[in-house]
Protein backbone atom coordinates (compact mmCIF):
# COMPACT_ATOMS: atom_id res chain seq x y z
CA UNK A 1 0.00 0.00 0.00
CA UNK A 2 1.97 3.00 -1.31
CA UNK A 3 0.54 6.15 0.28
CA UNK A 4 2.64 8.31 -2.04
CA UNK A 5 1.13 6.78 -5.17
CA UNK A 6 -1.46 8.83 -7.05
CA UNK A 7 -3.15 5.57 -8.08
CA UNK A 8 -3.66 4.74 -4.39
CA UNK A 9 -5.49 7.99 -3.70
CA UNK A 10 -7.57 7.68 -6.88
CA UNK A 11 -8.71 4.25 -5.73
CA UNK A 12 -9.45 5.56 -2.22
CA UNK A 13 -11.58 8.37 -3.67
CA UNK A 14 -13.43 5.83 -5.83
CA UNK A 15 -14.18 3.67 -2.78
CA UNK A 16 -15.42 6.69 -0.81
CA UNK A 17 -17.63 7.79 -3.74
CA UNK A 18 -19.04 4.27 -4.11
CA UNK A 19 -19.95 4.11 -0.42
CA UNK A 20 -21.55 7.54 -0.44
CA UNK A 21 -23.62 6.84 -3.57
CA UNK A 22 -24.62 3.29 -2.64
CA UNK A 23 -24.67 3.69 1.15
CA UNK A 24 -27.64 6.00 1.63
CA UNK A 25 -29.99 3.08 2.32
CA UNK A 26 -27.61 1.73 4.96
CA UNK A 27 -27.67 5.06 6.80
CA UNK A 28 -31.48 5.00 6.86
CA UNK A 29 -31.42 1.46 8.25
CA UNK A 30 -29.12 2.58 11.07
CA UNK A 31 -31.46 5.43 11.99
CA UNK A 32 -34.55 3.20 11.92
CA UNK A 33 -32.96 0.41 13.95
CA UNK A 34 -31.95 2.81 16.74
CA UNK A 35 -34.98 5.08 16.83
CA UNK A 36 -36.55 3.43 19.91
CA UNK A 37 -33.40 3.28 21.97
CA UNK A 38 -33.00 5.66 24.91
CA UNK A 39 -31.17 8.82 23.86
CA UNK A 40 -27.99 7.80 25.75
CA UNK A 41 -27.79 4.46 23.95
CA UNK A 42 -28.42 5.67 20.39
CA UNK A 43 -24.83 6.75 19.76
CA UNK A 44 -23.59 3.45 21.22
CA UNK A 45 -25.96 1.50 18.97
CA UNK A 46 -24.81 3.43 15.91
CA UNK A 47 -21.12 3.05 16.79
CA UNK A 48 -21.13 -0.68 17.53
CA UNK A 49 -23.56 -1.46 14.72
CA UNK A 50 -21.36 0.36 12.22
CA UNK A 51 -18.21 -1.19 13.72
CA UNK A 52 -19.63 -4.71 13.27
CA UNK A 53 -20.94 -3.89 9.79
CA UNK A 54 -17.52 -2.60 8.68
CA UNK A 55 -15.81 -5.74 10.02
CA UNK A 56 -18.17 -8.10 8.20
CA UNK A 57 -17.97 -6.05 5.02
CA UNK A 58 -14.17 -6.23 5.05
CA UNK A 59 -14.42 -10.02 5.39
CA UNK A 60 -16.89 -10.22 2.49
CA UNK A 61 -14.73 -7.98 0.28
CA UNK A 62 -11.59 -9.99 1.09
CA UNK A 63 -13.44 -13.09 -0.13
CA UNK A 64 -14.55 -11.18 -3.22
CA UNK A 65 -10.96 -10.10 -3.94
CA UNK A 66 -9.85 -13.74 -3.76
CA UNK A 67 -12.71 -14.95 -5.95
CA UNK A 68 -12.00 -12.30 -8.57
CA UNK A 69 -8.64 -13.99 -9.22
CA UNK A 70 -10.54 -16.94 -10.74
CA UNK A 71 -10.71 -16.78 -14.57
CA UNK A 72 -13.80 -15.03 -16.00
CA UNK A 73 -15.08 -13.87 -12.59
CA UNK A 74 -13.83 -10.31 -13.11
CA UNK A 75 -15.78 -10.21 -16.36
CA UNK A 76 -18.88 -11.50 -14.54
CA UNK A 77 -18.27 -8.96 -11.76
CA UNK A 78 -18.03 -6.18 -14.35
CA UNK A 79 -21.38 -7.22 -15.85
CA UNK A 80 -22.92 -7.21 -12.37
CA UNK A 81 -21.56 -3.70 -11.78
CA UNK A 82 -23.10 -2.52 -15.06
CA UNK A 83 -26.46 -3.95 -13.95
CA UNK A 84 -26.11 -2.26 -10.53
CA UNK A 85 -25.26 1.06 -12.19
CA UNK A 86 -28.30 0.86 -14.48
CA UNK A 87 -30.49 -0.01 -11.50
CA UNK A 88 -29.09 2.97 -9.58
CA UNK A 89 -30.49 5.35 -12.21
CA UNK A 90 -34.04 3.99 -11.97
CA UNK A 91 -36.70 5.97 -10.08
CA UNK A 92 -37.47 4.66 -6.63
CA UNK A 93 -40.87 3.06 -6.08
CA UNK A 94 -43.38 5.44 -4.54
CA UNK A 95 -44.55 2.97 -1.90
CA UNK A 96 -41.11 1.51 -1.11
CA UNK A 97 -40.57 1.73 2.62
CA UNK A 98 -37.91 0.20 4.80
CA UNK A 99 -39.36 -2.61 6.86
CA UNK A 100 -36.75 -2.45 9.62
CA UNK A 101 -37.86 -3.30 13.14
CA UNK A 102 -36.93 -0.70 15.72
CA UNK A 103 -35.38 -2.28 18.79
CA UNK A 104 -35.70 -1.25 22.42
CA UNK A 105 -32.42 -2.96 23.43
CA UNK A 106 -28.89 -1.98 22.47
CA UNK A 107 -27.89 -5.50 21.41
CA UNK A 108 -31.04 -5.87 19.31
CA UNK A 109 -30.33 -2.63 17.44
CA UNK A 110 -26.69 -3.61 16.84
CA UNK A 111 -27.78 -7.02 15.49
CA UNK A 112 -30.37 -5.41 13.20
CA UNK A 113 -27.82 -2.94 11.80
CA UNK A 114 -25.20 -5.63 11.10
CA UNK A 115 -27.62 -8.11 9.47
CA UNK A 116 -29.32 -5.43 7.35
CA UNK A 117 -25.99 -3.96 6.25
CA UNK A 118 -24.68 -7.36 5.13
CA UNK A 119 -27.90 -8.11 3.23
CA UNK A 120 -27.93 -4.69 1.54
CA UNK A 121 -24.20 -4.43 0.80
CA UNK A 122 -23.89 -6.79 -2.18
CA UNK A 123 -23.55 -3.89 -4.61
CA UNK A 124 -20.98 -2.15 -2.38
CA UNK A 125 -18.90 -5.33 -2.05
CA UNK A 126 -18.67 -5.93 -5.81
CA UNK A 127 -17.97 -2.26 -6.59
CA UNK A 128 -15.33 -1.81 -3.89
CA UNK A 129 -13.62 -5.08 -4.84
CA UNK A 130 -13.32 -3.74 -8.39
CA UNK A 131 -11.97 -0.36 -7.25
CA UNK A 132 -9.52 -1.85 -4.74
CA UNK A 133 -7.20 -3.31 -7.40
CA UNK A 134 -6.74 -6.55 -5.39
CA UNK A 135 -5.58 -4.65 -2.27
CA UNK A 136 -7.32 -5.37 1.04
CA UNK A 137 -5.38 -2.43 2.52
CA UNK A 138 -7.20 -0.09 0.14
CA UNK A 139 -10.51 -1.64 1.16
CA UNK A 140 -9.89 -1.08 4.87
CA UNK A 141 -8.58 2.45 4.37
CA UNK A 142 -11.47 3.46 2.12
CA UNK A 143 -14.16 1.97 4.37
CA UNK A 144 -12.73 3.51 7.54
CA UNK A 145 -12.94 6.94 5.90
CA UNK A 146 -16.24 6.59 4.03
CA UNK A 147 -18.53 4.80 6.49
CA UNK A 148 -18.39 7.58 9.13
CA UNK A 149 -19.16 10.05 6.34
CA UNK A 150 -22.29 8.06 5.47
CA UNK A 151 -23.45 7.69 9.08
CA UNK A 152 -22.87 11.20 10.41
CA UNK A 153 -23.65 13.17 7.25
CA UNK A 154 -26.21 10.88 5.61
CA UNK A 155 -28.93 13.55 5.66
CA UNK A 156 -26.66 16.04 3.92
CA UNK A 157 -25.60 13.48 1.31
CA UNK A 158 -29.20 12.47 0.60
CA UNK A 159 -30.33 16.11 0.32
CA UNK A 160 -27.46 16.72 -2.08
CA UNK A 161 -28.59 13.78 -4.22
CA UNK A 162 -32.20 14.98 -4.18
CA UNK A 163 -31.26 18.53 -5.12
CA UNK A 164 -28.61 17.64 -7.69
CA UNK A 165 -29.60 14.38 -9.49
CA UNK A 166 -26.38 14.69 -11.50
CA UNK A 167 -24.61 13.26 -8.41
CA UNK A 168 -26.44 9.95 -8.93
CA UNK A 169 -25.57 9.98 -12.63
CA UNK A 170 -21.90 10.58 -11.83
CA UNK A 171 -21.99 7.73 -9.32
CA UNK A 172 -23.53 5.37 -11.88
CA UNK A 173 -20.90 6.42 -14.41
CA UNK A 174 -18.19 5.71 -11.84
CA UNK A 175 -19.52 2.15 -11.45
CA UNK A 176 -19.32 1.77 -15.22
CA UNK A 177 -15.75 3.09 -15.25
CA UNK A 178 -14.74 0.57 -12.58
CA UNK A 179 -16.56 -2.24 -14.42
CA UNK A 180 -14.71 -1.52 -17.65
CA UNK A 181 -11.34 -1.31 -15.89
CA UNK A 182 -12.03 -4.54 -14.00
CA UNK A 183 -13.14 -6.57 -17.04
CA UNK A 184 -9.90 -6.07 -18.97
CA UNK A 185 -7.79 -7.19 -15.98
CA UNK A 186 -9.39 -10.65 -15.90
CA UNK A 187 -6.68 -13.32 -15.94
CA UNK A 188 -8.06 -14.72 -19.21
CA UNK A 189 -7.52 -11.56 -21.29
CA UNK A 190 -5.12 -9.42 -19.23
CA UNK A 191 -1.93 -10.43 -21.05
CA UNK A 192 -3.55 -10.17 -24.49
CA UNK A 193 -4.83 -6.67 -23.71
CA UNK A 194 -1.43 -5.51 -22.47
CA UNK A 195 0.33 -6.78 -25.59
CA UNK A 196 -2.20 -6.21 -28.37
CA UNK A 197 -4.80 -3.68 -27.19
CA UNK A 198 -3.37 -1.35 -24.56
CA UNK A 199 -5.86 1.33 -25.68
CA UNK A 200 -8.60 -0.71 -23.96
CA UNK A 201 -7.25 0.45 -20.60
CA UNK A 202 -8.94 3.81 -21.21
CA UNK A 203 -11.52 2.90 -23.86
CA UNK A 204 -13.19 0.11 -21.89
CA UNK A 205 -13.93 2.24 -18.77
CA UNK A 206 -15.25 5.12 -20.88
CA UNK A 207 -17.53 2.85 -22.93
CA UNK A 208 -18.84 1.05 -19.84
CA UNK A 209 -19.65 4.36 -18.13
CA UNK A 210 -21.50 5.61 -21.22
CA UNK A 211 -23.40 2.32 -21.57
CA UNK A 212 -24.68 2.54 -17.98
CA UNK A 213 -25.73 6.18 -18.29
CA UNK A 214 -27.47 5.79 -21.66
CA UNK A 215 -29.27 2.52 -20.90
CA UNK A 216 -30.09 3.57 -17.33
CA UNK A 217 -31.56 6.90 -18.45
CA UNK A 218 -33.52 5.19 -21.22
CA UNK A 219 -35.06 2.64 -18.83
CA UNK A 220 -35.82 5.41 -16.32
CA UNK A 221 -37.56 7.44 -19.05
CA UNK A 222 -39.66 4.45 -20.05
CA UNK A 223 -40.59 3.74 -16.43
CA UNK A 224 -41.69 7.33 -15.84
CA UNK A 225 -43.78 7.33 -19.02
CA UNK A 226 -45.59 4.19 -17.87
CA UNK A 227 -46.24 5.74 -14.46
CA UNK A 228 -47.50 9.01 -15.94
CA UNK A 229 -49.65 8.23 -19.00
CA UNK A 230 -51.07 11.76 -18.80
CA UNK A 231 -47.65 13.34 -19.11
CA UNK A 232 -48.40 14.75 -22.54
CA UNK A 233 -51.58 16.29 -21.23
CA UNK A 234 -49.71 17.80 -18.31
CA UNK A 235 -47.18 19.29 -20.68
CA UNK A 236 -49.95 20.89 -22.65
CA UNK A 237 -51.28 22.59 -19.52
CA UNK A 238 -47.93 24.30 -19.07
CA UNK A 239 -48.44 26.17 -22.32
CA UNK A 240 -49.93 29.68 -22.15
CA UNK A 241 -53.68 29.77 -22.73
CA UNK A 242 -54.74 30.97 -26.13
CA UNK A 243 -57.58 33.49 -26.31
CA UNK A 244 -60.77 32.02 -27.75
CA UNK A 245 -61.22 32.62 -31.42
CA UNK A 246 -64.22 34.61 -32.48
pLDDT of amino acid 10: 83
Residue 147: how many other CB atoms lie within 10 Å: 22
Q: Which residues contact 216 (CB under 8 A, 6 or more apart)?
A: 85, 86, 87, 88, 89, 90, 172
Contact of 114 with 57, CB cutoff 8 Å:
no
Residue 26 CA to residue 17 CA, distance in Å, equals 15
pLDDT of amino acid 27: 64
Number of residues in the chain: 246
pLDDT of amino acid 196: 92
Which string of DSSP letters, residue by residue, matches 175-186? HHHHHHHHHTTS
Task: Establish if 81 belongs to a structural domain.
Answer: yes
Residue 58 CA to residue 72 CA, distance in Å, equals 23
Residue 172 CA to residue 161 CA, distance in Å, equals 12
Residue 135 CA to residue 138 CA, distance in Å, equals 5
Task: Establish if 198 belongs to a structural domain.
Answer: yes
Q: What's the domain count of the chain?
A: 1
Task: Establish if 235 belongs to a structural domain.
Answer: no
Q: Supply the range of the domain harboring residue 166.
A: 6-227
Task: Establish if 24 belongs to a structural domain.
Answer: yes
pLDDT of amino acid 130: 79
pLDDT of amino acid 214: 95
Task: Establish if 40 belongs to a structural domain.
Answer: yes
pLDDT of amino acid 192: 92
Under-50 pLDDT residues of the chain: 95-96, 230-234, 236-238, 241, 244, 246
Amino acid sequence: MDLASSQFWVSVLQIIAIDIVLGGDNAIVIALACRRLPQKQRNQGIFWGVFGAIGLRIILISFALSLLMIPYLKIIGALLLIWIGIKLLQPEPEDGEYEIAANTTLLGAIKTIIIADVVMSFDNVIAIAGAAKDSIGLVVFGLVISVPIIVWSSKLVMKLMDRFPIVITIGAGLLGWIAGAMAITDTVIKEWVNVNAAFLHWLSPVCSALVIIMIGKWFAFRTLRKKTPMADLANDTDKPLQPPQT
